[in-house]
Structure 1
């Protein structure tokens, strides 16, 4: 359901996250941010100027727990708590670029966490809905986007259900790795839409993917029955799994 976090929670996180961080620990976060883009993001062929500008501007250090802020611009995945992570910068940049998001498109970010990826997408002039099931993360994420990307709309509910009240979406983007495309996607994707994220493969490796519905075309030229996903794989990289979207363990005697 559409839901804003408890106002007291949001105010609490706003105070803790948005005090001027340079004055708290003496770090030159702006310099580190520019180095992150120049040394990690541009070398992996992220060349969309909208994405580069967003990642040079958005305060990534405020999207992680205070204990992790010193590593916010390092080439590493950072823990957010309860098995959830913020992906390393180069994955974020390459993933957003591979999704081919145009201005004005409606984008659902699944497992939005503290809102960093959703904010990058919002900087592309997309209409962003951030789906999150964890109450603590949604409070932090709402506080973050309220400051840096106020157009992001948060949706609180199970990740496996999507955000039906806001569908259809031109792009459904997963902020983390999955093993299969959840069933809700076919019912919430717009005609001509696509699903993007990281797909976990056997052996623990992950590949980026872009998927479009494979549907029968009827005699009048309209889309008919859904027959599966046409999936194109892209770059390989380790990526954190989204625990809530893992398949249930098989029962064995």
Structure 2
């Protein structure tokens, strides 16, 4: 599909409307995150979807039971992650690469893990021109220990259980931003790795897509 100058102008209007109505009014206080989301074209990472849908404050189906997080959820997670230039970031749930592009825009080096082969292909294509971004295909809950330790762990979705296999890939005092599923409610949470594990606390209830592969083991019953 050919993109005309009119199409580009229309999507730019939608992108800036997203920033004004969804981010600035909802505690996205990191100006660098706002600038990144005002600059990176979200539509480039969700091919075949109308731009008007791409910029809605709602989860967006990517097929195969996977969804792109709402813009606000991603923005709040990146704000709490406090990413700075030269951070090494482990991103879990790369999907089609949009969040990895935002993190790269913040000046970080990104290892983005994606379990769905079709989504990983889209992400690699969309991110091909960006330096310091690697898309790794594999189980989300396993991360990518080969490049550890990381400074920041961002899980762009909600999980029932935060595995030690992921938090142990962080340096001690490394930052964590993730969605959590608690009794059917999704929440956004942040914290740090400690010498003895991790401390993560929810800071707001909100829509956040649930990622596969993180279900808490069922309790044993007699």
TM-score (normalised: structure 1) = 0.80
> Quick one: distance in 2 between partners of 1:26 and 1:97?
27
**Which residues of 2 match residues 82-161 of structure 1 at below 5 A?**
82-147=64-129, 149-161=130-142
**What's the CA shift string for 1:192-240, capped at 9, x where partnerless?**
20221111111x222211132343xxxxxxxxxx2x4222221210211
Alpha-carbon distance change, 213 to 48 in structure 1, aligned in 2, over 3 angstroms: closer
> Quick one: distance in 2 between partners of 1:100 and 1:109?
14
Retained in 1: the 8 A contact 2:70–2:207? no
Aligned counterpart in structure 2 of residue 44 of structure 1, from 8, 26, 36: 26
Equivalent residue number for residue 208 of structure 2: 239
Q: CA deviation at 1:244?
A: 2.1
Retained in 2: the 8 A contact 1:175–1:197? yes
Structure 1 unaligned residues grouped into runs of 5+: 1-18, 216-225
1:35 aligns with 2:12: no
1:212 aligns with 2:192: yes
**What's the CA shift string for 1:81-125, capped at 9, x where partnerless?**
111111111111111001111111100100110011111111110
TM-score (normalised: structure 2) = 0.91
Equivalent residue number for residue 186 of structure 1: 167
Q: CA deviation at 1:169?
A: 0.6
> Quick one: distance in 1 between partners of 2:42 and 2:193?
34
> Quick one: distance in 1 between partners of 2:216 and 2:201?
22
> Quick one: distance in 1 between partners of 2:30 and 2:10?
25
Structure 2 unaligned residues grouped into runs of 5+: none
Retained in 2: the 8 A contact 1:62–1:69? no
Matched residue of 1:146: which SS? Answer: coil
Alpha-carbon distance change, 102 to 27 in structure 1, aligned in 2, over 3 angstroms: closer
Which range moves more in the overlay, 88-97 or 64-73? 64-73
Q: CA deviation at 1:22?
A: 4.2
Retained in 2: the 8 A contact 1:65–1:80? no
Q: CA deviation at 1:143?
A: 0.9
**What's the CA shift string for 1:155-174, capped at 9, x where partnerless?**
12211211011111111110
Number of positions where the alignment pairs a residue of Structure 1 with one of Structure 2: 222
Equivalent residue number for residue 5 of structure 1: none
Q: CA deviation at 1:20?
A: 4.7
Q: CA RMSD in A?
A: 2.2
Matched residue of 1:66: which SS? Answer: coil
